[in-house]
Amino acid sequence: MLATAVIVFRETLEAALVVSIIMAASYGVVHRGLWVWSGVAAGALGACVVALFAGAITTAVEGIGQELLNASILILAVLMLGWHSVWMAHHGRELAREMGEVGHAVAAGHQPLYALAIAAGMALLREGSETVLFLYGIASSGDGGLMHLLVGGLLGGAAGVIFGLLLYRGLLIIPMRHLFAVTNVMILLLTAGLAAQAAGFLVQADLIPSLGGPVWDTSHVLSEDSLVGKVLHSLIGYQSRPEGIQVLCYAIVLSTLTLLTFLTGSRTKTR
Amino acid sequence: MPNFRSLVRLFAAAGAAIWLLGASMPSANAQESYTLTIHDDRFEPASLDVKAGTKFKLVVKNARKVAAEFESHDINREKVIPAGRSVTINVGPLKAGSYAIFDDFHKSTKGHIVAK
């Protein structure tokens, strides 16, 4: 039962952290809850569908269906978060001013909430489908499986959500006029990390070259299996033994988005 | 302000560039293939010998009655395997050494890939 809880916790944690950053990044925006939670619900529903068709997906496209699906989910999330970053850079100054003055931002109401909703949905879809498959296995294993599923699943899921809540509450301690500056950086790092993960799946599918690897090996210093390693993996894309192309994709996405946000930001300033 | 479309184009161009890079590289046609089976409590073989320095295909069969997830941080791979199915995973090239593998859905099921 503890093993069940631990596995569900690890799967829930990643999605919970992503949703927390997204909720903090859209703090004070009207209807953001409706959008983000709709994305979460749709992602969870989609996860059940993916789990249901796991067999078909696995054999699809000459056996690389799973890799292609995971890479697509991650790339869509990268595009949505990237678009949000650029939008925020464009409107950043007015947002910070309004947040400082009245504690919430009127301009923030025009944030591309659909982009955040889709990104949240993708996080749920990716982590959720594995959780559903795993729990289905527990439930069908007979010996008191259902009880295991309920208690282990609920405990693990709740622990993951609590971590997410802690991150969210922690972010909200940041003074309002600096909040978006912090969440912008967090989203940049998160996006680069997701891009590196997507590259990993494409290498596994043998569609792109790995360009050598591992570039470094920090598995003895900080294992991805440890809680800290797992959290850092979720937040900034930490990997203990990344392939060359993963580091390259991380650098490309991070520098491109940083450059784009810097360019749009400075153009707004001079206007 | 760069619009959404230009962002998509940028990523598409980057993706295409990486793809071309991959396509232009010589691919090993005759790759070695190794088979690994996940049983209820163990990998078979528990330690799989593979050739170092070359890409290979790893066929993992899930003999459990429930889904498994083949995973390894050491070789950077993860793949869900529905009950009774087998999947192919592209691995390597690996430097000589021992690499830990596990079933992420059943953490006590562990094994090794040894590249020689």
CA pair distance B84, B86, nearest whole angstrom: 7
* Nearest CA distance, B90 vs chain A (angstrom): 5
Kindly indicate whether the ipTM for this predicted assembly is greater than 0.90, answering yes or no: no
Give first-to-last CA distance, chain A, whole Å: 60
DSSP A182: H
Report the length, in residues, of chain A.
271
Q: Which of B25, B81, B107 sits opposite A3 (nearest CB)?
A: B107
Query: What is the structure's pLDDT at A2?
Result: 81
Helix-strand-coil split of chain B, %, nearest 5: 20, 45, 35
Give me the tens of pLDDT residue by residue for chain B, a chain 116 residues long: 557 777 777 778 877 776 776 555 555 457 899 999 999 889 999 999 999 999 999 999 999 988 999 999 999 999 999 999 999 999 989 999 999 999 999 888 999 999 99
Q: Does B45 touch chain A (CB under 8 A)?
A: no
Residue A116 in contact with residue A32, Cβ under 8 Å?
Answer: yes
Nearest to A208 among B10, B18, B108 (CB): B18
Q: Is A245 on the interface with B (CB under 8 A)?
A: yes
pLDDT digits 0-9 by tens, A115-152: 999 999 999 999 999 999 988 887 777 666 677 788 88
What residues of B are in contact with residue A209 (Cβ under 8 Å)?
21-22, 25
Q: H or E element: which one contains B33? A: strand B32-38
- In this predicted structure, what is the pLDDT of residue A104? 59
What residue spans of chain A are helical by DSSP H?
2-25, 32-52, 54-63, 65-102, 113-139, 145-172, 176-204, 227-236, 244-270
Give the gap in angstroms from C-alpha B36 to the nearest C-alpha of chain A: 16
B21 dihedral zone (left: phi>0; alpha: psi -120 to 50; beta)? alpha
pLDDT of A270:
43
Question: In angstroms, rounded to a whole number, what is the distance separating the alpha carbons of residues A64 and A62?
Answer: 6
pTM of the shown model = 0.88
CB contact (8 A) between residue A66 and residue B10: no
Q: Give the CA distances from residue A72 to residues A34, A66, A130, A164, in Å, rounded to whole numbers and listed in that order.
A: 25, 10, 16, 25
Q: How many CB pairs under 8 A join A and B?
A: 106
Give the residue carrying structure tokens 């980057």.
B14
Give the model's pLDDT for residue B26.
52
